[in-house]
Amino acid sequence: MTDTQPSRHTPLPQPARLGVRIAGTGSCLPDGKLTNADLEKMMETTDEWIVQRTGIRERRRLNRDRGETLDDLCVESLRRALAAARMDPSELDLVIVATMTPEMPCPATACTVAHRVGAGTAGGFDLNAACSGFVFGLNTAHELIRGGGYRSIALVGADALSRHMDYSNAGRGTAIIFGDAAAAAILRATDDPSKGILAHAMHSNGAGWKDIYVPQQPFHFPEGIACDPQKYDKVQMNGAAVFKFAVGTFSDLIQQTLDKAGLAASEIDMFVCHQSNSRILTAARDRFGIPEDRLYVNIDRFGNTVGASVPLCLDELVRQGKVREGHRVMFVAFGGGLTWGSSLWQL
């Protein structure tokens, strides 16, 4: 070793700590609306039952007959986010799409989307954590930027569960809930280290897989449930079990994240939560005494849009000026896997 080489004991110079900011958001919904009145004509259900049990009045659905795809929604939402961030797509280093319903197993949605928006050879990959996907993506992208290797990352949350719905009586437990959408956020490095994630969490419990799954083979059915080829490719959900899991997990996750950051619920400007059921959101609000205007709800208009649910709320809040620079915002989600996660930001 020469004198000029650092010894094992000489600390290497540390790069300046980077901050991460959310530079722009965008969203895109299919034009096609599916109201509760439409569903009443397709299966034995009522507007009253759906509103009372879920808070949902309508949801959007891709029109496959007209060739509409999830990729189209992703591309448009990302274009809108880039415009909001006043960025050229060539500045993106990476595109991540959080989805459980890619058009095809290969290529990854992110590759097609990066190409279509003009992001050159930016990296692209899909991330599947069901309804928690966007929150897991936020944590992943944030750490990649803070690590210094990437400066600009596009994160899209997108799902079209309409492809996996049974719009007959047999599917009424799920068909009333899910809607299609895509929404994006651009994460960028900033020299201000105070901006970015204050605390985050990501969890899973594979033992709960059978509470939400999409079977495609006889051996995909859990023990005690007979194989039924009519159910292939359709979402199977034990609604009551997911509901119970969600109510408890949601509140525990918020508390855990607040504890990690050393903050109280009253110090959070906005809770941006996965929209799965208005009753689950109300339970969390009641437990923490969160005022109505600080826990956003749009499930009445869009239903549960899975990976798009959290960023769709974020985009609406940003556009309404209810989430802006300087705010502390907590993102919370849970879903199939089972998965659950949070991301608490200083914007």
Binding site for ligand UT7 (CB under 6 A): 45, 49, 53-54, 131, 172-173, 176, 212, 239-240, 242-243, 246, 276-277, 304, 335
Smallest distance, ligand UT7 to C-beta of residue 267, A: 27
Instruction: Give dist(CA 199, CA 201) in Å, integer.
Output: 7
Minimum Å gap between C-beta 21 and ligand UT7 is 28
User: Minimum distance from CB of 69 to ligand UT7 (Å)?
Assistant: 22
Rg of the Cα atoms in the chain = 21
User: 168 by DSSP, 3-state: which?
Assistant: coil
Structure tokens at 33: 């609306």
Pairing of strands 123-127, 94-98: parallel
Given its phi and psi angles, is residue 314 left (phi above 0), alpha (psi -120 to 50 degrees) or beta? alpha
Q: Is 345 within 8 Å of 190 (Cβ atoms)?
A: no
Q: Are 135 and 337 in contact (CB under 8 A)?
A: no
Nearer to ligand UT7, 69 or 278 (CB): 278
Cα separation values, 43 from 38, 166, 169, 300, Å: 9, 10, 5, 20
Nearer to ligand UT7, 197 or 306 (CB): 306
18 or 247, CB closer to ligand UT7?
247
Q: Which active-site residues does the annotation give?
A: 131, 274, 304
- C-beta closer to ligand UT7: residue 22 or 34: 34
Cβ atoms of residues 298 and 247 within 8 Å: no
How far apart are CB 335 and ligand UT7 at their closest, in Å? 4
Which C-beta is closer to ligand UT7: that of 208 or that of 239?
Answer: 239
Question: Which residues are bridge partners to 59 per DSSP?
Answer: 34
Distance (Å, whole) CA 327 – CA 9: 41
In the complex, minimum distance from the CB of residue 45 to ligand UT7, in angstroms, rounded to a whole number: 3
Q: How many CB atoms lie within 10 A of CB 140?
A: 21
